[in-house]
Amino acid sequence: MSWIKIKQKLIKLIPVKFLRDYLSWHYGWFPYNNVSIKANISNIKNLKLDGNVYIKDNVQLRCGRGIHIGENTHIAEFVYMISTNHIYNSGKQIPFDDTSYAYTIDIGKNCWIGARSIINPGVNIEEGAIVAAGSVVTKSVPKCAIVGGNPAKVIGWRDKEIYEQLKVEKKNAKLNDLKTRIWIKINGSKKYMEGNVESNV
């Protein structure tokens, strides 16, 4: 039996639910990631996180068929991912029948999924991609693409040369580094540094 499974069994013995949930999230299911205990995850055994994954409050992950999230990927508040959907045109009943189709969702490493985005079944988001806040992603996203809208379309690209250089130098955002940061305030065409402030990221 693996150490993670042993920890899961020990955590289940704790009588206080909040403490049990907290320890489950951080030391049981997700020992090398930061997953908010306010995230809602179904079929948790079908969720695979590669490490240094950051999942914020009120994220909904429906992992019926399976969701894989790559290393160093950050997922903002209220993101919704679903790996199954109803069949509505079988001729059996309406608005949909009692069967579903299921496709895995695969998100590569170093991705950033903006707040209130929706990721549909079967979508493959390749490494380094950015999904703008409020997007509805219905098709796969290429490496280093920036997508936005409903349905999401490519609206820009990361600088691939800079991206590859940062990968070589292993300049990954560490989870603890997100507590404070330097914000850049933009006033018209003028940019200036605001200094360290508390972040709610």
Q: Identify the pLDDT of residue 188.
A: 53
Do 14 and 101 fall within a single domain? Answer: no
Do 126 and 71 fall within a single domain? Answer: yes
Q: Would you place residue 186 in the very low, low, confident or very high pLDDT band (cuts 50, 70, 90)? A: low
Q: Is pLDDT of 183 > 60? A: no
Q: Identify the pLDDT of residue 96.
A: 78
Dihedral angle computed from the Cα positions of residues 36, 39, 45 and 48, in that order, rounded to the nearest 10 degrees: -60
Is 68 in the active site? no
The pair of three-digit structure tokens given for residue 10, joined into one six-digit string? 């020990």
Q: Is pLDDT of 4 > 70? A: no
Decide which of 23 and 123 is more confident: 123
Do 71 and 24 fall within a single domain? Answer: no
Q: Across the strands, what pairs with 145?
A: 157
Q: Which residues contact 160 (CB under 8 A, 6 or more apart)?
A: 128, 143, 144
* Least trusted range by pLDDT, from 12-26, 35-49, 54-68, 184-198: 184-198
Do 3 and 54 fall within a single domain? Answer: no
Do 51 and 139 fall within a single domain? Answer: yes
In whole angstroms, give the CA distance from residue 20 to residue 159: 43
Do 44 and 141 fall within a single domain? Answer: yes
Q: Identify the pLDDT of residue 22.
A: 74
The pair of three-digit structure tokens given for residue 97, joined into one six-digit string? 């029948």
Does 180 fall in a domain? no
Domains contained in the chain, number: 2
Which of 26, 68, 74, 86 is the catalytic position? 86
* Least trusted range by pLDDT, from 44-53, 107-116, 186-195: 186-195
- Write the DSSP string, 32-66: TSEE-TT-EEESGGGEEE-SS-EE-TT-EEE-SS-
3-state secondary structure 159-196: CHHHHHHHHHCCCCCCHHHHCEEEEEEEECCEEEEEEE
pLDDT digits (tens, 9 = 90+) for 62-120: 998 899 999 999 999 999 999 988 777 777 788 877 777 889 999 999 999 999 999 99
The pair of three-digit structure tokens given for residue 24, joined into one six-digit string? 């489950």
Does 146 fall in a domain? yes
Do 26 and 44 fall within a single domain? Answer: no
For 124-144, b where at least 16 C-beta lie within 10 A, e where not — what string? bbbbbbbbbeebbbeeebebb
Do 22 and 75 fall within a single domain? Answer: no
Do 74 and 155 fall within a single domain? Answer: yes
What's the chain's average pLDDT? Answer: 83
Does 182 fall in a domain? no
Mean pLDDT of 142-157: 97
Do 64 and 117 fall within a single domain? Answer: yes
Does 162 fall in a domain? yes
Specify the pairing of strand 74-75 against strand 54-55: parallel
SS3 104: coil
Do 96 and 111 fall within a single domain? Answer: yes
Per the structure, the complete domain to which residue 79 belongs is given by 38-170
Do 16 and 43 fall within a single domain? Answer: no
Does 192 fall in a domain? no
